[in-house]
Structure 1
């Protein structure tokens, strides 16, 4: 005689996890949406006030990047939850592909955020901003 005790049958567990996945993915989408709205409002305010200098835009991009990274983390958490109960090999493969894509996005966003933060810190310390397009013999910001 085999004793078996289940808190929830697998079908009920799948349904409960489905609800959790929707909640977590909705939270991720809301975080990204709020970040985009915040960035757009800050952009408009910066332009209207006439302070459309690089420093202001970099701060906006930096904060938007943070919202994107956090939102993508929630989306990835939802994907992991989706495959939590008896996943098939197809589901595992899909999760691996999604995780790889989202991890790559997070990595590059993180690098961009670190670059922007370092640039803002350099500007705050009074160092001149480097122009990536300025080569030897060209002045920074020169047109031509």
Structure 2
């Protein structure tokens, strides 16, 4: 039985270390997402034509994808935290993160779908205009 207690204590340490790594990756995702979104905003502002509206949706979608990824890693970290010593507060936090992540991913997926359809339509129109010329 002593080996079981040793395994249990080591599992606790490994889970804590992996939880920290997942939380760190989550923070990195948010920071990288912010930097990539700023980079896209600068590129779009340089190539923006005055008679067209600025494509804010592209910025939202870019950052939203990174936030969704960060939430995935955060959810993994929270799952690890609740497997070791679950408290009611941790279980509620885990449930809230799961619900937020699910809604974010659902609506982000819908927005991406609409944006891709619009890009496809614009590309088809541009191709038709190119053929006519």
TM-score over 0.5 for the pair = yes
Gapped regions of structure 1 (runs ≥ 5): 128-144
TM-score, structure 1 as length reference: 0.68
Q: Secondary structure at the match of 2:83?
A: coil
Higher helix share: 2
Structure 2 length normalisation: TM-score?
A: 0.73
CA contact 1:58–1:120 (8 Å) conserved in 2: no
1:64 equivalent to 2:63? Answer yes
Q: CA deviation at 1:86?
A: 4.3
- Counterpart Cα distance in 2 of 1:8 and 1:57: 54
Gaps of at least 5 residues in structure 2 are 127-133
Residues 38-71 of structure 1, C-alpha deviation per residue, up to 9 Å, x if partnerless? Answer: 1111211221244575586554444333222222
CA RMSD, aligned part only?
A: 2.8
In the alignment, which residue of structure 2 is the partner of 1:136? none
Does the residue aligned with 1:125 lie in a helix, a strand or coil? Answer: helix
| Alignment partner of 1:96 is 2:68 | no
